[in-house]
Amino acid sequence: MNGRPVLGVTDLRVRFDTDDGPLLAVDGMSFDVHPGEVLALVGESGCGKSMTALSVLGLQPPNARVTGSIRLGGREILGLESRALRSIRGREIAMVFQEPMSSLNPVFKVGRQIAEVLRKHEKMSAAAARRRAVELLELVRVPTPERVVDEYPHQLSGGMQQRVMIAMAVACDPKLIIADEPTTSLDVTIQAQVLEIFRRLRDRLDTAIILITHDLGVVADIADSVVVMYAGHKMEQAPVMELFERPRHPYTKGLLGTVPRAGLSGTRRELVEIPGSVPLLRSAPTQCVFADRCAYRQDDCRAESPVIREIGVAAQVACLHPVEVVVRS
Amino acid sequence: MSAPVLEISGLCKRFRVPRGAGGGVVHAAEDVDLRIEPGEIVGLVGESGGGKSTVAKCVVRLLEPDDGTVRLNGVDITHMSQRRLRDVRHQMHMVFQNPYSSLNPRMTVGAIVSEPMRRKEHGSRTATRAAAVELIERVGLSAEMFDRYPHELSGGQRQRVGLARSLGLRPSLLIADEPISALDVSVQASILNQLQRLRAEFGFSCLFVSHDLASVEFLCDRIAVMYLGRIVEVGTRAEIFATPKHPYTRALLAAALVADPVAQRERVRVPLEGEIPSPVRPPVGCVFHTRCPIAELPLCTTAPPETTMPTGGTVRCHFALDDRVN
Amino acid sequence: MTAVATVLTGRALARRRMRRRLLARPLSVIGLIGTLVAIAVALFAPLISPYDPAATDFGSVLAAPFHGAHLLGTDQLGRDVLSRMFFGARTSLIAGVLATVLGTVVAVPIGLVAGYFRGWVDTVISRLVDVVLAFPFLIIAVGMAAILGPSLSNVVIALGVGQIPVVIRVVRGEVLAQRELEYVQAETVNGTPSGVILFRHILPNISNAIIVQASVAVPTAIVGAAVLSFLGIGVQPPTADWGNMLGDAQGYLAQAPWLGVFPGVAIFLTTLSFNLLGDGIRDALDPRSR
């Protein structure tokens, strides 16, 4: 985790015009991702994390308006025309989605789909691409890759399909992989295997990974740094250990408290609840977006929307009254 | 000792796979034994294809078992006709997984919650309405939700409506089939809390089907672990989480992620190899032996006996009492 | 934070949204206007027709349009074309709408039963539907009209029956989807009898699909009625009907081509309006379309 950032996002805003009025899906997101770093983008549904990822790749819906700056290795890619974006997708930035079954084309063999990525970006011959496809399947620990390469997606299990997706993503050795809830639909034991693959990719190929998830267990397992999102805003960013040990934003603290913790101490305490639900932002907020649900709210929290600022080492928080308690030692 | 609320013996449910999709028979549930005592919350855990939902649906008679028996408060309901079942259905109810399709979009919250009571008790309109409003409030919603439609409610609120609906007739058994998997994490917490509170207030027993071990550990008194349609281990919360006996239970616990980076990264990560076998062609004998780290052939190609542990739980493993499991 | 406006909830909100989406598309608005015009014309035909549509006038046979007392000219018996056009709208719309209502009312319960209970009932119904659908719609309609005899009511019956298999299919498909949803399973767990589940729970949730289907079926029936009358086995003269006006016009194409043009254009515009409206309704009701 060093050197120049692979991806730099500054003040990203994504705005929709819907039947019921404007919708601010993302309102001022900024973050950097470095080579070999796993950045977890954490939040609940509706917080804008998926939209952030899609915007990076230029895959936002046509009625979305995106402003801000997205720099890939120093080069501005927001607003690039489609041809330039297409050459970036798959080659420099790759994406892994949540539902592998709907991301893989059911009528083409798996090997061919991987090879297609290779032939398009690296101009390989069919034979060379096929050989490389088998190698990639090995990299993601698919058993009997020479056979799997000729199978159709529906012949594979969910975990296998996800590995194929990862193989396709890694095919051209991208600098950055964006994984949107890659293990959410997988069984627990399979999830463990897939996370192991991501770890190997990070260690062996020094790939930067943006991992979008709502599962704090996944974050605890594999993330290096964490960005907590809420209603299109970044609430907190910190290295993973620090985030869990010393959450500064009340929302982060609340999220951590909602997870049933392993503890057989007989006493059944209640889990922390955060009343209410994630709001939809319709206009630039005039107060802290979390204020309505915040247990630590004070008067000035309703007067202005806090700006994200540095706090501690490599940590940021958007809160007027950050929590100061150490949650665990 | 009072009779168990639910007693399942040797439950089997098989589905035929159409020829076009490969043919064969899926043993969705095979020889399942489970007992639930009054006031207990029993968790049913396992991965997809494990058979948990099938068992839950057989208990509620959304499916009819092919073999074995299901006894509800002592009455054998395994093959009862739907008409006769209506007399006993008030003793059990179900909470479903998907908050977006488990409520009729054309009915108001009040109508949904009142319906079981209207059906069964035929009380006056005002009495039923009052009872429904009280239920709505007891699950943590405000009374004004009575006239709202499901699409105006969030996922968590809808699940609360589902809870209210199921409690109208004061069932002795509540079957919760993955009730929180489709919700956001913070909302999951509130539903788990609510379930715990309601159990204390109403005193029902609960079969809690889930793949999320953390919530099962939080909520359940006893836990049954399923793999490929068979129950491989049953035990109390302490037994299962502190001293799991079956290799699959151990693998499941090892794979479950802990939301604490220090603890999670210190754990020895030995992910279970292989895929879940096809349910149409389950492994012979012990169904777990193809992925089991301690399997021994040819012993494990014979069906393992059900061993009752000294502490009361049961394990289906040839090496249940063996020290090598540790 | 945000201004508090009057918030519509539930039904009212859904209806307003639907209306707004319907009116948002210019084509749907055109369809709506055209349909309303056709309905108005049919309703007020006696009030707006300058002449009695059956009144013959052998003094001014085959008069040209835009040239004299008759705005759209006269036909071979001296009857005013404009008045006959107005009254023709009546028969066309009655035929189209009633046939659709008949077909829907008969087919919906059959589709519900087939889709919900499955088993041999479904197999029998589905195969029967397949058999009937194997025949071209018009062959069936013609056959029935031939057996029943030509008249407006028999046209309605023939066209209505022709629609039944299609509606059964649509309803059955919707029921198949609904019965897998958990709210239906919840009703079973409630102990609700199947009949009640079908009619009080599932039917309201598939009403959108039925409405859309009907709005597409009406123009088909209008054309079907016109065809039957054109062939001489539908509405009989002297009753004014676009179809038999077209049929009569065949013999006078050289001398008085307008006799065929006007009813033809009328059929075209009416069916187009209904179709555009139907598309608009379908898009407005579909929660997923933008």
Using one digit for the tens of pLDDT, what is the confidence trace for C39-78?
Answer: 999 999 888 888 888 888 888 788 888 877 788 888 888 8
| Helix, coil or strand: residue A233 | strand
Q: Is the pLDDT of residue A208 over 70?
A: yes
Q: Which of C11, C181, C186 sits opposite B165 (nearest CB)?
A: C186
Q: How close does chain A come to B263, measured CA to CA in Å?
A: 9
Residue A1 confidence (pLDDT): 47
> What tens digit of pLDDT does each residue of C202-218 get?
999 999 899 889 988 99
Answer whether residue C133 shows pLDDT above 70.
yes
What residues in chain C have their Cβ under 8 A from chain B's Cβ atoms? 9-11, 181-183, 185-193, 201, 204-205
Per-residue pLDDT, A166 = 92
Cα separation of B246 and B33, whole Å?
16
Quote the percentage of chain C above a pLDDT of 70.
94
Mean pLDDT, consecutive 10-residue segments, chain B of 326 residues?
Answer: 88 88 86 94 90 94 94 94 90 93 93 89 84 93 91 90 94 94 86 92 95 91 94 93 91 88 83 81 90 87 87 87 64
Query: Tokens at residue C220, please?
Result: 């088909």
pLDDT (0 to 100) of residue C3: 38
Residue B149 CA to residue B110 CA, distance in Å, equals 9
Give the nearest chain A residue to C1 (CA atoms): A286
More confident residue, C130 or C8: C130
Tell me the HSE value of A117 on the side-chain side, using a 13 A CA sphere.
28
pLDDT above 70: residue C232: yes
Q: Which residue has the tokens 């909602």?
A: A258
* Number of residues that make up chain B: 326
**Among the listed residues A289, A180, A227, A232, the one whose alpha carbon sits nearest the alpha carbon of residue A16:** A232
A307 touches chain B (CB under 8 A): no
Helix (H) or strand (E) holding A142: none
Across the interface, which of A19, A63, A282 has its CB nearest the CB of C2? A282
pLDDT tens per residue, range C259-277? 889 899 999 999 999 999 9
Confidence of residue A314 (pLDDT cuts 50, 70, 90): confident
Class of residue A245 by CB neighbours under 10 A (exposed 0-12, middle 13-18, buried 19+)? middle
In a domain, B219, yes or no: yes
Count H helices, E strands: chain C? 11, 0
How do strand B222-227 and strand B41-45 relate by DSSP bridges? parallel
Distances C246 to B262, C65, C221 between C-alpha atoms, Å: 86, 16, 17
pLDDT at A137 over 60: yes
Residues of B with CB under 8 A from a CB of C: 60, 62, 82, 85-86, 89-90, 92-94, 96-98, 101-108, 115-116, 119-120, 147-149, 152, 162, 165
Q: Is residue B98 part of a domain?
A: yes
Question: Which of C1, C21, C283 best probes binding to A when mutated, by most A CB atoms within 10 angstroms?
Answer: C1
> Is a pLDDT exceeding 70 seen at residue A298?
yes
- B212 burial via Cβ count (<10 Å: 0-12, 13-18, 19+): buried
Those residues of chain C whose CB sits closer than 8 Å to some CB in chain A are 1-2, 17, 20-21, 290
Number of B/C CB contacts below 8 angstroms equals 63
Cβ–Cβ gap C10/B119 under 8 Å: no
Helix (H), strand (E) at residue A62: none
Asked if residue C8 has pLDDT above 60, the reply is: no
Instruction: Please say if the pLDDT value at position A329 is more than 80.
Output: no
Q: Look at residue A265 in the predicted model and tell me its pLDDT.
A: 45
Q: Which residues of B227-242 are buried (b: 16+ CB within 10 A; e: fewer)?
A: bbbbbbbbbebebbbe
Q: Give whole-number Cα distances, B311 to A70, B41, B240, B245, in Å.
A: 60, 19, 11, 12
Residue B151 lies in a domain: no
CA Rg, chain C, in Å? 23
**B-chain residue closest to A272, CA distance:** B189
Instruction: Provide the chain A residues 256-295 that lie in CB contact (below 8 A) with chain B.
Output: 256-262, 264, 268, 270-275, 277-278
Chain B residue closest to A253 (CA)?
Answer: B186
Angle CA C272–C274–C276, to nearest 5: 65
Residues of B in contact with A268 (CB under 8 A): 196, 218
Q: Identify from A259, A280, A292 which residue to disrupt to test chain B contact, counting B C-beta atoms within 10 A and taking the largest count.
A: A259
According to the model, what pLDDT value does residue C131 have? 92
Q: How many CB pairs under 8 A join A and C?
A: 9
A62 shares contact with chain C (CB less than 8 Å): no
Per-chain mean pLDDT for chain A: 87
- For residue B1, the model assigns a pLDDT of 56
Inter-chain touch B86–C11, beta carbons under 8 Å: no
- Residue of chain A whose Cα is closest to the Cα of B215: A260
CATH number of the CATH domain containing B307 = 3.40.50.300
CB C225 within 8 A of CB C155: yes
Q: Do the chains contact at C21 and A19, CB–CB below 8 Å?
A: yes
With beta carbons under 8 A apart, name residues in chain C contacting B152: 9-10
B211 located within any domain: yes
Which spans in chain A are helix H? 49-56, 82-88, 100-103, 110-122, 126-139, 145-148, 158-170, 188-205, 216-222, 240-245, 250-258
Identify the pLDDT of residue C137.
80
In angstroms, the CA A115 to CA B269 distance is: 32
Question: What residues in A contact B257, CB-CB < 8 Å?
Answer: 191-192, 215, 217-218, 220-221
Dihedral, CA of residue A156, residue A160, residue A162 and residue A164, to nearest 10: -90
Would you call C183 and B102 a contact, using CB atoms and an 8 Å cutoff? yes
The pLDDT assigned to C114 comes to 95
Sign of CA dihedral C89, C92, C94, C100: negative
For B94, other C-beta atoms within 10 Å of its C-beta total 27
Q: DSSP assignment, residue A113?
A: H
CA closest to A288 among chain C residues = C1
Between positions 22 and 81 of A, the ones with CB within 8 A of B are 44-45
> Do residue C2 and residue A287 have CB atoms under 8 angstroms apart?
no
Measure the CA–CA gap between A73 and A175, rounded to whole angstroms: 9
Q: CA separation (Å) from B75 to B70, B90, B291? A: 8, 13, 39
CA of C225, closest CA in chain B: separation in Å? 37
* Cα nearest neighbour of A282 on chain C: C2
By C-alpha distance, the chain A residue nearest C289 is A19
Instruction: Assess if residue B53 is contained within a domain.
Output: yes
Question: Helix (H, G, I), strand (E, B), or coil: what is residue A164?
Answer: helix
Quick check: is B302 in a domain?
yes
**Chain B residues within 8 A (CB-CB) of chain A?**
47-48, 154, 156, 184-190, 192-193, 196, 211, 213-215, 217-218, 237-238, 241-242, 251-252, 254-265, 269, 271-272, 274-276
Instruction: Decide if C2 and A63 are in contact by the 8 Å CB cutoff.
Output: no
Which residue in B186, B237, B256 is closest to A255 by CB distance? B186
Domain span at B273: 6-105+173-184+203-316
pLDDT tens, C10-29?
Answer: 566 667 777 777 777 888 89
Strands across the sheet containing B205-210:
B92-95, B173-177, B205-210, B41-45, B222-227, B230-236, B314-316, B306-308
* Amino acid at site A235: M
Q: What is the pLDDT of residue A327?
A: 61
Supply the Cα-derived Rg of chain B in whole angstroms: 21
Dihedral sign from CA coordinates of B57, B63, B68, B74: positive
Q: Nearest to residue C109, comparing CAs of C177, C202, C180, C218? A: C202
| Out of A35-44, A92-101, C194-203, least confident range | A92-101
In this prediction, residue C5 carries a pLDDT of 43
The pLDDT score that the predictor gives to residue A76 is 92
Residue A62: is its pLDDT beyond 90?
Answer: no
d(CA C183, nearest CA chain A) in Å? 23
In a domain, residue B123? The reply is no
Residue B153 within any structural domain of the chain: no
Cis geometry, peptide bond prior to residue C237 (ω within 30 degrees of 0): no
What is the Cα–Cα distance from B279 to A281, expressed in whole angstroms?
46
Q: Judged by CB atoms within 8 Å, which residues 187-206 of A form the interface with B?
A: 187-193, 196
Q: Do B255 and A191 touch (CB under 8 A)?
A: yes
Q: Which neighbouring-strand residues pair with A75?
A: A72
Q: Is the pLDDT of residue A328 over 60?
A: no
Domains held by chain B: number: 1
The residue of chain A nearest to residue C7, with distances taken between CA atoms, is A20
